[in-house]
Every structure is written in structure tokens, then in C-alpha cells.
Amino acid sequence: MKEAIAKYLEYLQSVKNSSPHTVLNYRKDLEQFLAYLSPPGVRPPALSGVTHSMIREFVAHLHEHGLAKSSVARKLAALRSFFKYCVRKDQLKENPARLVPTPKLPKRIPSVLSAEEMNGFLNDLGGVGEPGPGGRAFAKKDAKPNRSTRVEEGLLFRRDRAVLELLYAAGLRVSELTGLNLADMEQRERILRVRGKGNKERIVPYGAKAQEALQKYWPLRERLLDQTDRASTRKDPHAEAVFLNYAGHRLTQRSVGRIVKKYVRIANVNWDLHPHSLRHAFATHLLADGADLRAIQELLGHQSLSTTQKYTHASIRQLMEIYDKAHPHA
């Protein structure tokens, strides 16, 4: 069974082009299942010896240990996918996980900022961190600000502003943003070629505000690259990345999360904002202004329309909140 799991993970990586995050999670889920089947002193069963009832018992075990229904559903999906692969490779006659029911998940409606709140947040950042007269500089807490730190942080602000604007303007997943290369951008037409889940490509437009932020960022990007050895950047994949960190390397997903939290603190607003919040806002605001649901599905890169439909509920909820606040007899 260990060998079959190893081959399946290799298949996910090399054939299915699954993200490293997906492969890592599936590895953990399958190893956890294997550990459950083979406690200390017990040999794991043969692949053909895994039964429907064993998987049901594993799911019950997860529930008993207080695991969230969404996490149980993901682990079950990993098992289904693994055993389906084994059937396809003639290692099994049937998929033992196929008939194990998925836990019923509550329908979560994303919490979304209004268009006014999002515009205010991004526009207010225009005066923060820019070097030179009129710019409100910021420095690390308890650090003595000087001209060089103000300028350096002001320059990084230009990158951060471009990150935030593009997340909202194009509705990108954070992995899609960090994976962007210069070759994926058509700046004259303001179009991105985005690689989404399963390495599927889609075309997404972005607006004038994001373009303006990017134009201010490009000189900084050159400066960040200049800090590295120019001879080595020709073959360095970081040199093609749109967004770079202070060391001239591709910006990571974790860093984007920190950037969002940082500017929420600077704006002094009590919001639980994260990178995906800007994607939620992108979809909800398009829908509220009359965009077709199918078009939003294409822009977001959703495989199923039902995934996109959750934004209709978010839009209705936002409308009801406005009604309750504004109508005298609400």
C-alpha cells in the first residue's frame, strides 16, 4: 500500500499537475489512513484487503476526534481519488471508498466588504508609505525612522499596492498571483494569462487602477533584481516572476497573506481581511453591478457554476443589510 501511495502522489505531481499544496495534503491524508490501519505492532493490510467498512470506521474515528466536517470530507476525497487511481491501474477491482457518504457540509456565505469599503481601503493606501513630500512614511515598531528606512519601505509599498490592486482587479487566487510571470501579462490590453487549479489557463482583464500601481512598481522590480547576480538571473525562474521579495526572489503565498494583514493594521480597520477576501469582493461587486453569473464563473476559473452561485447569496445578504439600515420601516 505504501508503494501504491507513492506512485499515486507521483502521478498527481507529474501527470495531473496538482499544486504542491494539494500533493502535500493528499500525502498527509493517505499516510494518516495508513497509520490508522496499522497501529504499533500491526502490519498494514494489503491494498486489496481495504474494505468499505474500514473506510467508514476511519471516517467515524475522525468525527470522534472532533475533526471539522470539511476536513473529513477532504480526507475522504483523497481516499476516493487514490482508490480510483488504483482501479484504473488494475490494482483493484472496485473502489472501496466510492459508497462512503460525504459529511453534509454547511453552506458558507463569504463575508464580503462593500464596494465603498473596498474602494476606500485601497484609495486610502495611496497616501501611505510613499517616499518624498506628502507621503506618510511608516517604519517598524520601536525602530528609529531615518530617511533610508522611509525610502526602502516606501518602495516596497509600491509592490504591495500593486499586489492588493491586482488581487481585487482580477479576482485572482493568491497562488495565481504569485505564479504570474512577465510573459503572462499583456499590459497594453490590460490582460493576464492565469494558470489556475489543475494548471488550467484562463484570460482575465484588469483595470486602470491596477495598471497605474504596476507602472509605479516596475522600477522597484528592476532594483530588486539588481541586488542579485545578473549573470545567474538568466536561468533563474525568479527573474521571470512579476512580484519579487526584497531578496529578488518570487514572492510567496505566505508573504502575500502578511502584506494584506499589514495594510489592514495600517488602515486601522477592524476587518478579518485575507487575500481570498479580495477575490470574494471582486465576484460579489461584479454580480451586484449586473455581470452575468456565467461570465463571473469564467473570470474566477470555477469548474462548476454552483461554486460561483454562493456569491448570489452574499450579494442578497449585503442588499438586505443595506435595506435594514436605510429603510425607515425595516
Residues annotated as part of the active site: 173, 197, 276, 279, 302, 311
| Alpha-carbon separation of residue 87 from 6, 75, 98, 166 (angstroms) | 16, 19, 11, 43
Q: Which residues pair with 229 in a beta bridge?
A: none
- 144: left (phi > 0), else alpha (psi -120 to 50), else beta? beta
- 90: left (phi > 0), else alpha (psi -120 to 50), else beta? left
Order across the sheet with 201-205: list the strands: 185-186, 191-195, 201-205
d(CA 76, CA 98): 9
| Alpha-carbon separation of residue 68 from 17, 61, 78, 277 (angstroms) | 28, 12, 16, 22
d(CA 268, CA 319): 26
